[in-house]
Amino acid sequence: MTTIRQKLAELGAFSRPRREENKENQDIDGDEPLGESSSRKARDKAHASKEADTGINVPGSDFHDFDMDRTERSFGEDEVWAVYDNNDGMPRYYAIIHNIISLNTFKVQISWLNSKSNTEFGSLNWVGSGFTKTCGKFRVGKYEIYSALNSFSHKVKWTKGPRGIICIYPRKGDIWALYRNWSPDWNRTTPEDLIHKYDMVEVLEDYSEEKGGVTVVPLVKVAGFKTVFH
């Protein structure tokens, strides 16, 4: 068993650096009124447009057809789903479903979940340094129409916070990917081949603000399989 008592920022709570973001977006208070940074708008727009046209290439699993868990009829209103990025194919974006527009030709109304800071996890400005936040407190972005069914990964558990905040934290029984080579010294110049190495863990207890982290146990890959762990 591995007990992680550090901040969730050191738990793989943030994804690879977004090196295209501008310096001006680095010092933004997460408690500002609802909205999105210009860089996030541009990235989400490009992501949605590209995925709607082409979808995303997700490698097949060894024996389980995960597409059966995300058919057109798998989605419901007020659900939060993780969405694959188009960098290394990790499900590090979140979208909340507002309305199911069409099933025969899949089309839903969504909002991307956004966050301008990671202040709930400490003073290190990981979001401002170009990392995508994957747990913590999020705000709901603008409505848009989305049709890329296979860019959705899985449904995510969430709770509602004050002022419409969406809260996503690791929970008991969840499976999360942690950065294998994580260092608090990572920044925009850290090589991507160093960043894009992960270990799979199972969460043994819910996230606790008092502990500032969660307890996890490593999962080991089963011999002869690419995506089966125990």
Spell out the domain ranges in the chain.
Answer: 16-169
The most distant pair of C-alpha atoms in the chain lies apart, rounded to whole Å, by: 50
User: For residue 175, what are its two tokens?
Assistant: 């499976």
Q: Cα 74 from chain centroid?
A: 19
> First and final CA of the chain: distance in angstroms?
13
pLDDT in tens, 40-54: 443 444 344 444 444
Instruction: Write the pLDDT tens digit of every residue in 136-193.
Output: 999 999 999 999 999 999 999 999 999 899 999 999 999 999 889 888 788 778 888 8
Percent of the chain with pLDDT over 70: 65
Over the stretch 77-125, which tens digit does the pLDDT of each residue have?
Answer: 999 999 998 877 889 899 999 999 999 999 999 999 998 777 777 666 6
pLDDT tens digits, one per residue of 46-76:
344 444 444 555 555 555 566 777 899 999 9
Q: What is the pTM of this model?
A: 0.71
Give the pair of three-digit tokens for residue 205: 């207890």
3-state secondary structure of 40: helix
